[in-house]
Chains A and B, each alone.
Chain A
Amino acid sequence: MSDLRELYQEVILDHNRRPRNFQKLEGANRTAEGYNPLCGDQITVHLILEDGVIRDISFLGSGCAISKASASMMTATLKGKTATEAEAIFETFHKMVTADLSRTFDPLEMGKLAAFAGVREFPVRVKCATLPWHTVRAALEGKPEPVSTE
């Protein structure tokens, strides 16, 4: 059970049960869809992007606890951030969950997102954690076609 508690930290279980910003977003000017064809996880991210700043962000969709909590915590983290900052956070997040053990992660740097560090021990779940981030990146880049993890 100990490894599982590493993966399913209390904060992740909480965001899975009560996802934040889980709604449509009135006045959204950027939207992107993400899809994991291997498991059917599906997410839509809505943004209000003004002058390169994410003024508001929300998501909808269905998926496992990891993808749902990741999306929920991502939206909480990115509200008010610039597109450049969002990209930098994703980069660090990606390294954290893909077992790049060459560096350690300052929990302060990642904030609550550090809860996802346990994902690196579960390689098949990495795509669950990163799907929302790939989707938000597509929304920021204004890509019209749905994002796929494959």
Chain B
Amino acid sequence: MRAAGDTAMTARRPAPERQRTFDVEKVRADFPALSQRVHGKPLVYLDNAATSQKPRAVIDAVTRYYTAENSNVHRGIHYLSEQATQAFEDARAKVARFLNASDAREIVFVRGATEGINLVAQSFGRRRLKAGDEVLISVMEHHSNIVPWQILCEETGSTLRVVPINDRGELLIDEFQRLLGPRTRLVSIVHVSNAIGTINPVKQIVQMAHDRGVPVLIDGAQAAPHVAIDVQELDCDFYVFSSHKLFGPTGIGVVYGKVHLLEAMPPYQGGGDMILSVTFEKTVYNAVPYKFEAGTPHIEGVIGLGAAIEYVTGIGLDAIGAYEGEMLAYATGAVSAIPGLRIIGTAREKASILSFVLDGVHAHDVGTVLDQEGIAIRTGHHCAQPVLQRFGLPATARASLAFYNTKEEIDALARAIYKVKELFG
């Protein structure tokens, strides 16, 4: 077990990367799943907001762990356990650098963004909230940033308040200011909307909340693969994201929390690895972040996430953002030219997520026809029913792009939508 304050626990931000040229074909070759055919057609994978494909580097890191390093972490005295622990803690340091956290102790591994929000709600929120207090979220939250707060509000007698959006799908910042009241104890806001792609002004949100002494959690599940994140610059109190949307394995995610907050919080789950000593009379908890990591962790998931972060930062989020912005503009132009098609979510600040509805055709039928063309999209409410209700819709079709998608794939999407119209015409 590493002691707190160990030098290895201190993360440092690398020097800013210079802009590199982006070669999409070279990048595509790194993702084995992208070269397959589906229903006899080349796969066009446009469901990246649900989960991303994995680069060879991630697959190899997981394989290498099981082939050569497999062992339990933090407790073995033998060689393999040391190797596994080293790889595990190296990954934590990579996550800290990725978020520009000042201290790797601020990085807690959980199963995903959902578990991260539940951890903050139960471990941080429960002690903060009492009857009559308020938690502030927005209309565009994923169910994972709604339901944990509803559970907590029910338990504590608090109220959930919801910031509305405009018709473009942008947060009404004046309404946010107005709802930020004397009883607001916590703000939890999505960085990038999974359903409509809006990028929220999270830095401004954090500042406005902090002006009133209110801590802020940012749900970064959709932001992590698209936007450079700097938790020190944002000054958010908590930030969560999932590995699998960031080209890493499923079942692993991260809670960033300011170290003084994490230290003051009670454990989320009890068990092994989160204790220093146990007797039936008294248990002494381990230091952060281990206090929140009960049980044998998802070791290969953490190592795979570390590899994914290395891969993504190798390309550079600036280069990724520039390329995706170009793809989003191209896709928006291509599909909005289709008669009877309406794009849902037209925020000025937007990630490469394109939600749409087609006159007279249900999203599921769009999805089935596209699938036959080898095109994978998501259809339905995207686990964000309230925001679809805001637009008066039960479902949309959603094409979500990653940096490995191409203009040719967007052309294939547009052609397939014309086929849908032909079939249902």
Contacts and interface: CB of A to CB of B under 8 A. Distances in A.
Interface-centre pick from A42, A64, A122, A125 (highest chain B CB count, 10 A):
A64
Contacts of B394: 40-42, 62
Interface residues of A, number: 23
A130 to B, nearest CB: 14
Interface string B394-425: 11000000000000000000000001000110
A7 B360 CA distance: 18
B385 interface: yes
B372 interface: yes
A4 B365 CA distance: 10
B424 A38 contact: no
The B interface is mostly helix, strand or loop, or mixed, namely: helix
Contact of B362 (A4, A7, A65): A65
A7 to B, nearest CB: 7
Contacts of B380: 38-40
Interface in B322-380: 360-365, 368-369, 372, 379-380
B379 A4 contact: no
A66 B365 contact: yes
A108 interface: no
B365 A64 contact: yes
Given A4-B423, A13-B424, A39 B364 contact: yes
Contacts of B360: 17
Nearest to B425: A13
Given A3-B372, A66-B365, A125-B368, A40 B385 contact: yes
B381 interface: yes
Nearest to B39: A3
Interface of B: 39, 360-365, 368-369, 372, 379-381, 385, 388, 394-395, 419, 423-424
Interface of A: 1, 3-4, 7-8, 13, 16-17, 38-42, 62-66, 68, 122, 124-125, 128
